[in-house]
Amino acid sequence: MTSQTLTPASSHTGTRGLSALITAELRLFLRDAGNVFFVVAFPTVLLIGMGLAIPGMREPITDLPEPWLGLRAVDLFVPLMLCVAAATAGLSTVPAYLASYRETGVLRRMATTPMRPQGVLFAQAVVQLAGVTAGGVLALAVGSLVFDAPMAQNPLLALVVFLLATASMFGIGVLIGGLAPKGATASGIGMLIYFPMLFLAGLWTPGPMMPDAVEAIATYTPLGAASQAMSEAWFGLGMPWVQLVVMLAWAVLMFTVAARTFRWEV
Amino acid sequence: MNTITRMPTVASSSPGTAPVVQVVGLRKTYGSKVAVDDVSFEVARGEIVGILGQNGAGKTTTVEALAGLRTADGGTVRVLGHDPQRDPAPVRELLGVQLQESRLPAKLRVAEALRLYASFYADPRDPEELLTLLGLQDKRDTPYQKLSGGQKQRLSIALALVGNPQVAILDELTTGLDPQARRETWDLIEAVRDSGVTIVLVTHFMDEAERLCDRVVIIDDGRVIAQGTPGDLARGDHAGVTFRMRLPQPLDAALLVGIDSVTSMREVGRDLEVTGGATVLPDVIIALHSCGLVPEEVQTISPSLEDAFVALVGRPPQEDPS
C-alpha cells in the first residue's frame, strides 16, 4: 500500500538523493578512462615527461639569484602541476559534462523530478574537485618520490591558492558549459583557452624564467596568478595578495556571469 | 477532540471526482511566436488522455507547462490541485514525466539509473518491481548506450514511474520504435494505467491514440479544435455507414438509388462503395437478394481517427504547419 505521508512534500526537495547523485556522478567519472587520464594522471605524466626527457631539467640553476639558486627546473614544475590539474578539469571535463548534460536532456529530465538540475552541477563540482585533488596529490607524490623535489614552505597558503585556482578555472568551465550548445563545442572552446592559460602559468617558462612583460600580464589572468601565488607559497617568498585577489575576482566574476547566462535547455 | 488535522495533501484536495489535470485557457508565446494560444482540457483519475496534433501544434509546450518546465503567459494549470508554476514542489512528487529526446549519461546502467531517480522521491516505487514490469531485468547492468531504442524507451517510462506518481505524462512514446516494440509499449501503458496511474499521452500517431486513449484532445495552431473519445471523433458529424462489395455481375444502379437509406455510391475498381444511414447494409443486401444477387465479398469501412484528424486539421499530416 502506498500511504500518503502527512509531512509536506517540499521539506527535503532538492537535497533528497544528493548523495546518491554524487555517487552516481563519481561512478560515471571513473568509468570514463579519458577523464581519469586527463584530470587525475595528466599532470603527473607531464611532470615525469618533462623531468626525465628534457635535458637539463635536473641540473641545479646557476644563473638566477636566491631563492632560485641551487634549485632545479623540475622543482619549479612541481607546484605548477597543481595549477595544471585545476585548469585541465576546469577547462576540459567540466564544460564538456555540463554542455553534454544539457544537450542530451539530462538536465531537463532532472528538472521534472524533485531533484533540481542544479544538483547535477553541485555533484559534478564535488566529483571534479575530488579528481583535481587526486591529480594534484599524485603529482606532488611523484615530484617528491621520483625527483626529490621540495614541498611547499607555506602549505596553508598553497591550499588556499589551490582552491582559488580551482574555483576560477571551474568558473570559466561552468560559463563555457552553460553557453556551448554541445559537449564537443564546449571541449573545443575549453581547449582554446587551456593552452594560452598554460603558457601564462609558465609551463614553457616556469617561475623566474618568464619574461617580465609576460609575467606582468600573467598576474592578471586566473592561471597566471595561480602559478605565481603557488610559487610564493612553495618557495616562501611572501604573501601574494594581488594574485589572491585576482583569482578571487575571476572566480566571482565567472560564476556570476555563468549564473546569469547558464542555459538549462537546448 | 480527536480529529486528525491533515496537511493539505493530494488525498484531501481531490475527493475522487475532481479532475487530476485541469488546464484552462493556457497561453504561451516565445517572442512573437504563439506556441499555445488557448488550450483547455481536463483529465479524470484513471483515464488515458491523448494530446494529438502535428509537429509544432503546441502539444509539447502544453505538457511542459503541466510539468512546470514552462511559465505560462496566461491561463491556469492545475495538477492534483497544485499550480505547477507557483508551487512546483508537490507537482514534481506526484507527476512523472517522460520527455521526448531526453537521454541519460551513456555509461549509467539501467538499475543504477532507477535507483538514482528513486532516491529523489519521498515515496518511490521499488526499482526491482519496475525492472520486472518493464521487462528490463536482463538489462539491469547494461549501460544506457548499449540499450536498443525500445529498451531506452522502456527505461524512460520506468524513470517516469519510479517516483510512484499519480499522473504520468508520456511524450512521443513510440517515435522511432519498430512495430513490435510499439505494440509491446502499448500493452505496457495499459498495464500502468491498470496499476492506478492516470496517463497523459502526447502523440502524433493516430493508431496509437485509437488503441490506447479513452479520450483525445486535438490541438492545432495552439488551440483545441476537438476533443472526445476516439470513436466519437472518428464518426464525426456523419454518423453513417460505408461498405464496399463485389458483385458477380454489373448492377443496374437504379436498383440501389431507390433505397431510402442509401446516400451515395461510387465505383472503386471492381467494387461498389455504398454510404448511407444506419440500416444501409441490410437494406442493400435484401434489395440485391430480392433480385437474385448475392455479393461475393462485403467489407465495411470504419471511419478512422486519422480521417477525422485530417478533416479537422484541414491538411495532410506531413504539411508544415507554418
Cα gap B188→B153, rounded to integer Å: 11
Backbone dihedral region for residue B75 (phi beyond 0: left; psi -120 to 50: alpha; all else: beta): left
Asked if B107's CB is within 8 angstroms of A112's CB, the reply is no
Those of residues 27-86 in A touching chain B at CB distance below 8 A are 27-28, 31-32
CATH classification at residue B72: 3.40.50.300
B200 and B97 inside one domain:
yes
- Write down the mean pLDDT value for chain A: 91
The 3-state DSSP class for residue A100 equals helix
Among A141-155, A196-210, B193-207, B245-259, the minimum mean pLDDT is found in B245-259
Q: Residue B321: inside a domain, yes or no?
A: no
| AA identity, residue B87 | D
Q: Residue A239: inside a domain, yes or no?
A: yes
Q: Quickly state the pLDDT bin for B108 (edges 50, 70, 90).
A: very high
Q: Residue A88: inside a domain, yes or no?
A: yes
Q: Are strands B271-276 and B241-246 parallel, antiparallel or unpaired?
A: antiparallel
The DSSP code for B125 is P
Task: Give me the interface pTM, i.e. the ipTM.
Answer: 0.88
| AA identity, residue A249 | A
Domain, as residue range, for B217: 18-228
Number of domains in chain A: 1
B33 and B59 inside one domain:
yes
Q: Which residues in chain B are closer than 8 Å to A109, comparing Cβ atoms?
A: 97, 99, 102, 104, 159
B279 and B155 inside one domain:
no
- What's the pLDDT score for residue A178? 95
First-to-final CA distance of chain A: 39
B174 and B250 inside one domain:
no
Cα gap B164→A103, rounded to integer Å: 27
The helix-helix angle for A222-235 and A183-201 (nearest 10°) equals: 50
Closest CA–CA distance from residue B22 to any residue of chain A (Å)? 18
A120-178 pLDDT, tens per residue?
A: 999 999 999 999 999 999 999 999 999 999 999 999 999 999 999 999 999 999 999 99
Q: Would you state the cell numbers that stand for residue A231, as one nine-digit string?
A: 610559487
Asked if A10's CB is within 8 angstroms of B89's CB, the reply is yes
Q: Which residues pair with B266 in a beta bridge?
A: B273
φ, ψ (nearest 5 deg) of residue B165: -75, 160
B139 and B269 inside one domain:
no
Domain, as residue range, for A99: 17-261
Q: Quickly state the pLDDT bin for A9 (edges 50, 70, 90).
A: very low
The DSSP code for B146 is G
B213 and B77 inside one domain:
yes
B299 and B170 inside one domain:
no
Closest CA–CA distance from residue A21 to any residue of chain B (Å)? 7
B85 and B171 inside one domain:
yes
Residue A194 has pLDDT above 50, yes or no: yes
**H helical segments located in chain A:** 18-31, 33-35, 42-53, 73-88, 94-103, 106-111, 117-147, 155-179, 183-201, 212-218, 222-235, 241-261
- What's the pLDDT score for residue B215? 94
Asked if B119's CB is within 8 angstroms of A16's CB, the reply is yes
Closest CA–CA distance from residue A182 to any residue of chain B (Å)? 14
Q: Residue A7: inside a domain, yes or no?
A: no
Residue carrying C-alpha cell 546502467:
B109
Q: Residue A51: inside a domain, yes or no?
A: yes
**Could you write out the DSSP letters of every residue in A214-234?**
HHHHHTTSHHHHHHHHHHHHH
Q: Residue A12: inside a domain, yes or no?
A: no
B270-284 pLDDT, tens per residue?
A: 888 888 888 888 888
Which chain A residue's Cα is nearest to B118? A17
Closest CA–CA distance from residue B107 to any residue of chain A (Å)? 6
Q: Residue B156: inside a domain, yes or no?
A: yes
- What's the pLDDT score for residue B272? 87
The helix-helix angle for A183-201 and A94-103 (nearest 10°) equals: 170
Asked if B123's CB is within 8 angstroms of A105's CB, the reply is no
Q: Which residues in chain B are closer than 8 Å to A9, comparing Cβ atoms?
A: 9, 89-90, 93-94, 122
Number of domains in chain B: 2
B243 and B109 inside one domain:
no
Which one is predicted more confidently, B266 or A93?
Answer: A93
Residue A106 has pLDDT above 90, yes or no: yes
Among B200, B228, B256, which residue terminates a domain? B228
B277 and B247 inside one domain:
yes
Among B201, B228, B255, which residue terminates a domain? B228
Residue A62 has pLDDT above 70, yes or no: yes
Q: Residue A242: inside a domain, yes or no?
A: yes
Whether residue B87 contacts residue B253, with contact meaning beta carbons closer than 8 Å, is answered with: no
- What's the pLDDT score for residue A91? 97
Q: Residue A214: inside a domain, yes or no?
A: yes
- Write down the mean pLDDT value for chain B: 86
Asked if B67's CB is within 8 angstroms of A112's CB, the reply is yes
Among B228, B255, B279, which residue terminates a domain? B228
Q: Residue B219: inside a domain, yes or no?
A: yes
Q: Residue B6: inside a domain, yes or no?
A: no
Interval B25-30 mean pLDDT: 93
Asked if A28's CB is within 8 angstroms of B105's CB, the reply is yes
- What's the pLDDT score for residue A176? 97
Cα gap A224→A24, rounded to integer Å: 34
B142-183 pLDDT, tens per residue?
A: 999 999 988 998 999 999 999 999 999 999 888 878 888 888
Cα gap A238→A154, rounded to integer Å: 9
Q: Residue B3: inside a domain, yes or no?
A: no
Cα gap A59→B181, rounded to integer Å: 69
Residue B320 has pLDDT above 80, yes or no: no
CATH classification at residue B261: 3.30.70.980
- What's the pLDDT score for residue B12? 39
B139 and B35 inside one domain:
yes
What is the distance of C-alpha A259 from the center of its chain?
19
Those of residues 88-147 in A touching chain B at CB distance below 8 A are 101, 104-106, 108-109, 111-115
B201 and B244 inside one domain:
no
Among B172-181, B202-211, B232-241, the minimum mean pLDDT is found in B232-241
Q: Residue A68: inside a domain, yes or no?
A: yes
